[in-house]
Amino acid sequence: MGEPVAFRCVSCKREYGPWEHDYYCPRCGPVKGTLEVLYDYGALARKLSPLSFAQTRRFSLWRYEEVLPVGFEYAVDLRAGWTPLYARPELAAELGLSALWIKDDSLNPTGSYKDRATAVVIAAARYLSRSALTCASTGNTASSVAGFCAAAGIPAYIFVPEATPRPKVAQLLAFGATVFAVEGDYSHAQRLCEEARERFGWYDRSDGVSPMNAEGKKTGAYEIWEQLGGKVPDYVLVSVGDGSVISGICKGFLELAELGLSESAPKVYGVQAEGAAAVAHAFARMKRGEGILPAEEPAETLADSICVGNPKDVVKAVTYVDRTGGGFVTVSDEEIIGAVGELARKAGVFAEPAAAAPYAGLLRLLRDEVIGEGAKVAIVITGSGLKNPEGALRAAGEPLRVPPEIGAVERILSADAL
Ligand SMILES: [Zn+2]
């Protein structure tokens, strides 16, 4: 494993001993004081080569054990990571790009990018001898925690707002999680989860809370680099809710550059819905020399997985994105729905609305000439279209109704051909 040398506060830069604090800098508190895991990059650079990871022969994110804070011996045997990176040269040509790659993380065990974080968080929980995992979430994080805890045979305690739809709760219950439907809204569920983790010693996997999240999530960047034969794209686009996934992806690319494994980091762009753009607004404030925090604002979008008004990992997200030379872009719900359909039709990848947002962001950045002709771009698909069938239905249109006669099929096909 990578042997962290310190956990550092992203705001005051104070360094703590590895594992000294679980979640945040006590001086700065939650959100402002999220921690980042630091390694001895000089020592790692001397030890690692571009082939080091393949030599593990592990087809999961544990091939990157050398740059992870916990060892493979603590891993749960449920494969997260090493998802495919698809090339789409025809679509790239249509868009005027010289390359377009699609990193399909809908193929993780519970269908989302969140499994990368959970894989490392649960390994850390075992390393720290914590008895259970907890989180406040209604969506992909909760499914992921429930699934990994089932595989590990440890309890999962999940806090959801009482109004959470039955189908979402059903998956959690099926995995055997204890689900608390908290009277009130999401913030009540979050607060109760925090109190419970302190009271009962559970390890908190909520997004933007544990520094382990970014460690798991950074492996997507290592994979893109490795799958491109040790090269990185010019741009990488990913959707943003809490800011956790993009923080991890940026950290991965920045580490690769620091380790001398890639020449530079790609410009990473975060894509948010116009109605839920707290992180994009915080980035704009930072660029104007104003404060990143507070970053709370109302949130409304049909892309449920990125509908976040109180982003927990905003400080890390905006500072890391800035370090890559990237930025943020917002897109309308209409553009997001269009992207669900276009990605499915033109690329063969069925993404939930939040996960299709990067494609909508790409179209916008091309139109605005932020991304120029001939660029090489990767977009990260963070969740399966099967997660949100409502979104898919809005993008899909209607089937062709026919009587059970071959003549009717023939007539439609020949009308189509005209
Ligand atoms: Zn601090």
Structural domains of the chain ordered from first start: 85-111+213-396 (3.40.50.1100), 131-201 (3.40.50.1100)
247 CA distance to ligand 1 middle (Å) = 18
24 CA distance to ligand 1 middle (Å) = 8
CA distance 160 to 239: 23
269 CA distance to ligand 1 middle (Å) = 26
- What is residue 316's predicted lDDT score, i.e. its pLDDT? 97
- 147-181: pLDDT as tens digits: 999 999 999 999 998 888 787 788 899 999 999 99
Reported confidence tier of residue 315, pLDDT bands at 50, 70, 90: very high
- Whether the ω angle into residue 294 lies within 30 degrees of 0, i.e. cis, is yes
- What is residue 321's predicted lDDT score, i.e. its pLDDT? 98
Is the pLDDT confidence value at 92 over 90?
yes
Question: Quick one: average pLDDT of 79-108?
Answer: 98
316 CA distance to ligand 1 middle (Å) = 12
215 CA distance to ligand 1 middle (Å) = 19
Express as a percent the part of the chain with pLDDT over 90.
Answer: 89
292 CA distance to ligand 1 middle (Å) = 14
Is the pLDDT confidence value at 418 over 60?
no
Question: Quick one: average pLDDT of 187-205?
Answer: 95
- 16-66: pLDDT as tens digits: 999 999 999 999 999 999 999 999 999 999 999 999 999 999 999 999 999
22 CA distance to ligand 1 middle (Å) = 13
Give the closest residue to 209 by CA, choosing from 333, 121, 334. Answer: 121
- 100-110: pLDDT as tens digits: 999 999 999 99
Reported confidence tier of residue 394, pLDDT bands at 50, 70, 90: confident
153 CA distance to ligand 1 middle (Å) = 35
Residue 29, number of CB atoms within 10 A of its CB: 12
118 CA distance to ligand 1 middle (Å) = 25
Which residues have a Cβ under 8 Å from the Cβ of 264 and sit 6 or more positions away? 232, 257
349 CA distance to ligand 1 middle (Å) = 41
- What is residue 389's predicted lDDT score, i.e. its pLDDT? 75
Reported confidence tier of residue 405, pLDDT bands at 50, 70, 90: very high
Question: Quick one: average pLDDT of 261-265?
Answer: 97
Is the pLDDT confidence value at 388 over 90?
no
CA distance 358 to 233: 15
297 CA distance to ligand 1 middle (Å) = 23
213 CA distance to ligand 1 middle (Å) = 18
46 CA distance to ligand 1 middle (Å) = 31
- What is residue 395's predicted lDDT score, i.e. its pLDDT? 75
- What is residue 398's predicted lDDT score, i.e. its pLDDT? 83
- 318-376: pLDDT as tens digits: 999 999 999 999 999 999 999 999 999 999 999 999 999 999 999 999 999 999 999 99
CA distance 281 to 35: 22
Reported confidence tier of residue 230, pLDDT bands at 50, 70, 90: very high
Is the pLDDT confidence value at 239 over 70?
yes
Is the pLDDT confidence value at 189 over 70?
yes
How many CA within 13 A on the CB side of residue 228? 23
Is the pLDDT confidence value at 138 over 80?
no
How many CA within 13 A on the CB side of residue 106? 21
- What is residue 56's predicted lDDT score, i.e. its pLDDT? 96
15 CA distance to ligand 1 middle (Å) = 8
How is residue 248 written in tokens? 């991890």
287 CA distance to ligand 1 middle (Å) = 21
183 CA distance to ligand 1 middle (Å) = 33
- What is residue 187's predicted lDDT score, i.e. its pLDDT? 84
CA distance 345 to 303: 19
Is the pLDDT confidence value at 242 over 80?
yes
378 CA distance to ligand 1 middle (Å) = 33
211 CA distance to ligand 1 middle (Å) = 13
Question: Quick one: average pLDDT of 263-274?
Answer: 98
Which residues have a Cβ under 8 Å from the Cβ of 158 and sit 6 or more positions away? 134, 135, 136, 137, 142, 145, 146, 172, 177, 178, 179, 180
